[in-house]
Amino acid sequence: MRITRVLSAAALMLGLAVSPAAADSSPSPSASADDAAPTSAGTSFRTATEIEQGQQATASGSTGDYQYWSFPADAGQRPTVKATVKLPKTHAAQTWQVDVYDGLRRRQACQYGAQTRTAAADAASVELACVLRTVRAWSEPWANDPLPGTYYIRLTAVGLATADLGQPVDTSVRADSKDIGGAAAVDGSLAEPLVPGIAVTSASDEETSESSAVLSAIEPEDGWSSGWWSDRWVWTVLGGVLAALAGVGGYTLTRGAGRPRQVPPGA
């Protein structure tokens, strides 16, 4: 009976512990439909159009131009960038490419996805995708791991016939993230996210001016380092609890087995 109560308590604690972890691993919420999505793109890193995760940003441009957008990504997220280019009615074969850079303007490799695609002559559109590695809370200085901060999207045509230069195109991009959870947790964190301008703003500047010159003001919905809680904490605590319950159960089953048998007096 006692063993049954112990196992029931363990099952109850398992259910309570897994619940927040399951909620933590759900995809990041999309931007509200009431938020006006941007309808233009920047022409450089400094003028990149800021978008929220989940927003479908659109822009009009010309073949041969560079188009830039930026979005925030926090620790524990695995960003996915998708882009669609609507091509002119008449054109030769074109090769388009989407690149993603972090806050230090380091180009980040795609785990998978069609980052570069060639559209056949007179094709109506071309779709691109890039799934980045999971954003880490901390990394070695020499590593090229994705870190929390601003990420830049650059969309351009890398293979064009001379006759196609300057033709009008319509583009759309979207950035989403999947929360990975404790599998990506590390023992460490950055002092500040890699947001352009934040490293050059001193404490005295912040005291004397309420509007500091930060090049990127966009941040995750719950603020930076919002993913400090992960299922890594859950399973660590749960492992300790289960180990303690196993010790109690083992003692209950085996207690008295090693004691010498008492012989009644006068036997």
Measure CA 209 to chain center.
Answer: 32
Closest C-alpha to 172, from 41, 62, 65: 41
* Pairwise pLDDT comparison (208 vs 58), residue with the higher score: 58
pTM (predicted TM-score): 0.70
Which of residues 51 and 185 earns the better pLDDT score?
51
Q: Kindly state the DSSP code that residue 79 receives in the 8-state scheme.
A: E
At 122, list the tokens: 């007179």
For residue 205, what are its two tokens?
């500047």
**Residue 20 has what pLDDT?**
43
pLDDT in tens, 217-259: 677 777 776 545 556 666 667 778 888 888 888 878 887 555 5
User: Strands 77-86 and 116-119, how do they pair?
Assistant: unpaired
% of the chain exceeding 90 in pLDDT: 45
Beta-strand pair 56-62/168-179: antiparallel
Confirm if 147 and 227 have CB atoms less than 8 A apart. no
SS3 of 118, please?
strand
Cα Dmax for the chain? 116
Give how far the C-alpha of residue 164 lies from the chain's centroid of Cα atoms, to the nearest Å: 36
